[in-house]
Amino acid sequence: MKVDHASAANTFNKDFNRTTWHDESLWFVRQKRDKAVFAVTEFQELRELASNIKDHTLSNLDNYLIEFERNAINNGVKVHWASNGDEHNQIIATILKQCNAKRIVKSKSMLTEECHLNPYLEKNGFEVVDTDLGERIIQFRKEPPSHIVMPAIHLKKEEIGKTFHEHLGTPADEKDPQRLTEAARQHLREKFVASEVAISGVNFAIAETGSVVVCTNEGNADLGVNFAKVHIACMGIEKIIPSWKHLGVFTRILARSATGQPITSYTSHFTKPRKGYEMHIVIVDNGRTQQLGREDFRNSLKCIRCAACMNTCPVYRRSGGYSYNFTVPGPIGSILSPNLDLKKYSTLPFASTLCGSCSDVCPVKIDIHTQLYKWRQIIGKEHALPVSKRWSMKMLAQVFASPALYNVGGKLARFALRWLPHSFTYNATINPWTKSRELPEPPQESFRNWYQQNKQKK
Ligand code: SF4
């Protein structure tokens, strides 16, 4: 079904207090990012460097992927390739069956969200527990993440208290973040100890050594991997960087851009399985090579999922992550989603003011707002715009192309603005533009008339 961003945003906006608080919370993170970034005098050089490394890697992706695979296999890791989400899920289910595992702990991975791994595993009789605090909260509530770094940012502490009361037996009115976190900690310790397999995402995969690097703030990836006999790391093909020496560039920009921290609390490196243990890496395409082939959009694959573009976006902050109905919401999600289904996600590139703030903060210099604009043009050409918009644009094109029509149109508009009742000009169905804006005072005459008269006077 086609995603209707505007309607979904409208629903979110009905709760005025939540919208304001959501907006302010994300702006607070954006300000923290600014302070962290300005504290590093060479931050712009780091951005440039990160962008160039990613450019180079994407241009040589085939070679680096093969190098990565070869080195990982030499390290004793089993490498699997999945062309789409279904294959990814099937590969994981097969590994789980082979090692006779039923209890799985998972640290945050947007790729597994993208592939809908949890529902697939649960349908096949596996217990999968998300161990990132925010992810666990939304897993209890059977909700998807609304943000890629702070998945439960849409929830208030009172709502989390209620959820924990239902699932973890905390007191009904408990809303103290520290006590709630402690309850989650105790609950998750039991899950870690009992787990047989740990699934993790991958932030960076190093071709030179075949290692994967996972960044967390809670240490849950390390805990999971060290308790379980089997580690499965899932990564998109774009996570590759050529060598160790490049990693420092990305770890310096990732946390600063995401949460305003100098570095994530844990930056864990996994290269080979311990003796008697297993390590698997699943490398997933799922539309990425198609995006790589789109000249105008290929550099969206540089994304390191820091979420800075979401935190700064005035539309995301005021419409919430669910209004995008895509695993990665916000500006970058609005570029990635039409690649997978142009018709379904055709409203998302329009969910932007094109102010360019997303491009300004992006640590790998993706020209996000330009790409949003380019998707709009493609969507227009592919007739994926709503009929009303298509016809109104056609009519406007006729009016702007004809001075006579433009004149008559101007006269009519000035007359209508002056004489039509307020209930008509501000009717939200007829004129949604006025929902939160004032119409301008109609001028007495057009600029053309004024110019003609004043020119003659001179
Ligand atoms: S597009 Fe840039 S700013 Fe947005 S999540 Fe990706 S790396 Fe971060």
The pLDDT value recorded for residue 433 is: 84
Q: Closest Cα to residue 151, out of 205, 100, 106, 213? A: 106
Distance, in Å, from the CA atom of 40 to the CA atom of 59, rounded to the nearest integer, reads 29
DSSP-derived secondary structure for 342-375: TTTTTTGGGS-----HHHHH-TT---HHHHHHHH
The pair of structure tokens assigned to 276 is 């008697």
Phi-psi region of 305 (alpha: psi -120 to 50; beta: other; left: phi over 0): left
Distance, in Å, from the CA atom of 288 to the CA atom of 297, rounded to the nearest integer, reads 11
Measured in Å, residue 356 CA sits from the centre of ligand 1 at 13
Distance, in Å, from the CA atom of 374 to the CA atom of 296, rounded to the nearest integer, reads 8
Note the pLDDT tens digit of each residue in 336-371: 999 999 999 999 999 999 999 999 999 999 999 999
Supply the pTM of this predicted model: 0.91
> How sure is the predictor about 458, in pLDDT bands with cuts at 50, 70 and 90?
low
Contact yes or no for 147/316 (Cβ under 8 A)? no
For 57-67, what is the mean pLDDT? 98
Contact yes or no for 235/281 (Cβ under 8 A)? yes
Residue 100 pLDDT exceeds 90: yes
> How sure is the predictor about 79, in pLDDT bands with cuts at 50, 70 and 90?
very high
Quote the crossing angle between the two packed helices 177-194 and 220-227, to the nearest 10°.
Answer: 20
Helix, strand, or coil (residue 81): strand
305 CA: nearest ligand 1 atom:
5
304 lines ligand 1 (CB under 6 A): yes
Distance, in Å, from the CA atom of 255 to the CA atom of 157, rounded to the nearest integer, reads 24
- With pLDDT > 70 as the criterion, what percentage of the chain qualifies? 99
364 lines ligand 1 (CB under 6 A): yes
Measured in Å, residue 302 CA sits from the centre of ligand 1 at 8
Query: Of the ranges 206-215, 323-332, 378-387, which one carries the lowest mean pLDDT score?
Result: 378-387
Distance, in Å, from the CA atom of 46 to the CA atom of 431, rounded to the nearest integer, reads 46
The pair of structure tokens assigned to 151 is 């998945």
List all residues 6 or more positions away from 202 whose beta carbon is below 8 Å from its beta carbon: 109, 111, 212, 213, 214, 233, 234, 235, 239, 281
List all residues 6 or more positions away from 264 whose beta carbon is below 8 Å from its beta carbon: 215, 216, 217, 251, 254, 255
Residue 245 pLDDT exceeds 70: yes
The pLDDT value recorded for residue 431 is: 84
Measured in Å, residue 49 CA sits from the centre of ligand 1 at 15
Calculate the alpha carbon distances from 102 to 61, 75, 207, 228, 332 in Å.
35, 27, 32, 12, 35
pLDDT, averaged across the chain = 95
The pLDDT value recorded for residue 457 is: 66
308 lines ligand 1 (CB under 6 A): yes
Measured in Å, residue 274 CA sits from the centre of ligand 1 at 34
